[in-house]
Structure 1
Amino acid sequence: MINFSSIGRMFTYIVLVVGALTMLFPFIWMLSTSLKTTGAVGQLPPQLIPNPISWENYKIVWEKVNFGRYTFNSMLLVTIEMIGSLLSCALIAFGLAMFDFKLRKPLYIAMLATLMIPFQVTLIPSYFIWKTFGMLDSYYPLIIPSFLGGAFGIFLLHQFIKGLPKELYEAAVVDGYNPLGIFWRIYIPLCKPALAALGVFTFMGAWNNTLGPLIYLQDKKLYTLPVGLLYLKNDTEVSTALLMAGAVIVTIPVVIVYLIAQKQFVQGIASTGLKG
C-alpha cells in the first residue's frame, strides 16, 4: 500500500533541499572565484573548486585596497549603532507599554505611521539638516539617529513587553524599585530574545548600509566596507577575483552573527507576533 504521507514528506524535503542549494550556490561561487588566480576566473569549463587555491586576492584587498581600515570603520559604526538602537528602542517601548498617559496611543500610532514613509522621502531634508549643523563627512549623521529610537525596533520590543505579565511590574514596585530599576533589572533580562532579534536586524541594516555612508562621507579613511566594495567594483583595473574577495569579507560577519544568534533570533520573532 502506498504511503502518501511519506511520499509527501519526501517531496517536501526534496523541494527544500533544491531551494537551499539554489540560494547557497551564489555564495559558493563567490567564495570559489575569490580563491582563483586571474587566469583561472575565465577558464572554460569553469572550476567550482579552484586549482590551485590562491589566497593572494585577500591579501591584496586587505592591505593594498585598505579593506582592513574599512572593516575597522564598519565594526566601530555597527557597535555604536547597535548599542544606541537597542537601548533607545527598549526604553521607549518600555515606557509605551507600561505607563498610561494621555497621548500614549496617538504617539504610538504616529510612530507606527513613520514605517510607511519611504527612506528616500526624508533623505534630502536629512542631508540639509546635517549640513546646517556642520556634521557632514563625519559619523554623526549615521550614529545619532540610532540613539533616538526606531519605529520597527520600538514596535518589536513593545509587542514583547506587552506579552509579559503586568504583575511583574507591580511586584517590583512593592519591593521598592523605581521605574528605571525595574526596566534595567527585570525587563531587560526578560527581553533578551526580542533584543537578540532586534540586534540581528540592526546589525544587518548597519553593516550593509551603503547609501548613508555614500552620501555623508567624503574622506576615504572614513569609508565603510559596503562603500569600499562599491568603489572597488567601479575600478576598471580590478579583477573579478579581487572583487569576489572583497564581497566575501563583507558577507562573512553577517553570516557569523546570524549563526551565533539564530536560536535567539527565531525565538524573539516568534514571541513578538511577527509570524507569517
Structure 2
Amino acid sequence: MLVETKAAPDLRRPGRATMTSGQAERVRRAQRAGAYVLLIAATGVFLLPFLWMVTTSLKSDAENLAFPPEFLPSSFHFENYARGWSGSLPFTRFLVNTIVITALSMAGNLISCVLPAYAFARMRARLGAFLFALMLGTMMIPREITLVPKYILFAKLGWVDTYLPLIVPEFFGVALYIFLLRQFFTTIPQELIDAARIDGASEWRILWKIMLPLSKPALAAIMLFSFVGNWNQYLESVIYLRTTEKFTIPLGLGMFSGQYATQYNQMMAVSIVAMMPIVVLFFIAQKTFIRGVTLTGIAGR
C-alpha cells in the first residue's frame, strides 16, 4: 500500500524573493557607503566655520571689508599672523598669563576632585548618598547667579585685578569632574581594594598606588576638559582683571574690536595660533581621552 506524502508547505511570505549572499553584500556596501557620505557631509558642515576662519586670516585689509564677502582671498597674506601677534597688543605676555592660570587651575581641579570622588566611590558614610546628590544638585545652579556674590567676596578680600579669583575656586572642586571620576572609580574591582586593606595599606596608599594608576583615561579626560575650560575662560577674566599686562589671550582677542573698525583678519590669525595648543593636546591624548569618556559612567553603583 503506497502512502502519499505531501510536500512541506512554503512558510515564506508570498511575493518576497530570497536574497542571495551577493545581493546581501551589495546592500551592506551601499548602506556603508551611504553612512560614509553622511559622515563626510556632516564633517564638512562642522569644518566650515574653521575654514572660514583660516581664509579670513589670510585676507588683506581691503578684502576683509569687502561686500559681499568672498570665501577665498585673492592672495595669501601670512603677514597677518606676525602683525596680529606682534602688533600693539602684547600677546606674548597674554600667552604667559594664560599658561600660568591654566596650569594652576588644572592642578587645583585634579587635587580637589580626586579626593571626594574616591570618598564617594569607595568609602561608606551615613549621609554619603545624600551628600553625593547634594553635590550633583549644585550643577543645576546657573553660573550667572553666583557672579555677584563671588565678586563681592573677592572684592572684600582685595583680590580684584589679581589671578586669585581665577585660580583659588578651582581648588574647591567641580561637581562634573567629581561625578565623572567617581563613576570611573566604581568600575575598578573592589577585590583590589580589599586585598590592599588586608595587606595593611592606608586609604591614601590605595588611592595613590591603585586607584590613580588605573584611572589614567578618566584623569586624562578631566585634564583635557579643565585645560579647554580654563584656556578659553573669558567671563571671569573680564570681571576681575583690570591691568592690560595681566590680561589673558581671550581678553586680548576682544581688544581687536575697535570703536569704528575691527581687524578681523588679524583677530582670526591670532585665534588660530591660540587654538593650536588645544588641537595639539587633543591629538596627543586622543585615544586616552576617548577611552576615558567611553568608560566613565558605565557602572551605575
Range into which the TM-score falls when normalised by the shorter chain: over 0.9
Q: Residues 114-163 of structure 1: CA distance to partner in whole angstroms, max 9, x if unpaired?
A: 01111011111111111111111111111011111110000000000011
CA radius of gyration, larger in? 2
RMSD: 2.0
**Aligned: 1:123 with 2:147:** yes
Aligned equivalents of 2:191, 2:264: Cα separation in 1: 60
**Aligned: 1:7 with 2:30:** yes
2:95 maps to 71
The partner residue of 1:133 within 152, 157, 175 is 157
1:200 maps to 224
Q: Is the 8 A contact 2:166 2:237 kept in 1?
A: yes
More helix by share: 1
DSSP-derived class of the 1:232 partner: coil
Q: Residues 10-41 of structure 1: CA distance to partner in whole angstroms, max 9, x if unpaired?
A: 11111110110111122122112212332343
**Alignment map for 1:2-41 (pairs within 5 Å):** 3-41=26-64
Quick check: 220-229 or 174-183, which moved more?
174-183
Structure 2: any 5+ residue segments left out of the alignment? Answer: 1-22
**Alignment map for 1:170-249 (pairs within 5 Å):** 170-234=194-258, 236-249=260-273
Change (3 A) 1:117 1:47: closer
- Superposed displacement of residue 246, structure 1: 2.1
**Aligned: 1:55 with 2:78:** yes
Q: Is the 8 A contact 2:52 2:71 kept in 1?
A: no
Equivalent position amino acid for 2:83 in 1 = I
- Superposed displacement of residue 46, structure 1: 3.1
Aligned equivalents of 1:132, 1:45: Cα separation in 2: 49
Equivalent position amino acid for 2:76 in 1 = I
Quick check: 4-13 or 18-27, which moved more?
4-13
2:128 maps to 104
Aligned equivalents of 1:55, 1:122: Cα separation in 2: 43
Identity of aligned residues (%): 37
Q: Residues 159-186 of structure 1: CA distance to partner in whole angstroms, max 9, x if unpaired?
A: 0001111111121222332211211121
Quick check: 137-146 or 250-259, which moved more?
250-259
**Aligned: 1:268 with 2:292:** yes
Q: Is the 8 A contact 2:183 2:298 kept in 1?
A: no
Aligned equivalents of 2:97, 2:223: Cα separation in 1: 19
Equivalent position amino acid for 2:136 in 1 = L
Structure 1: any 5+ residue segments left out of the alignment? Answer: none
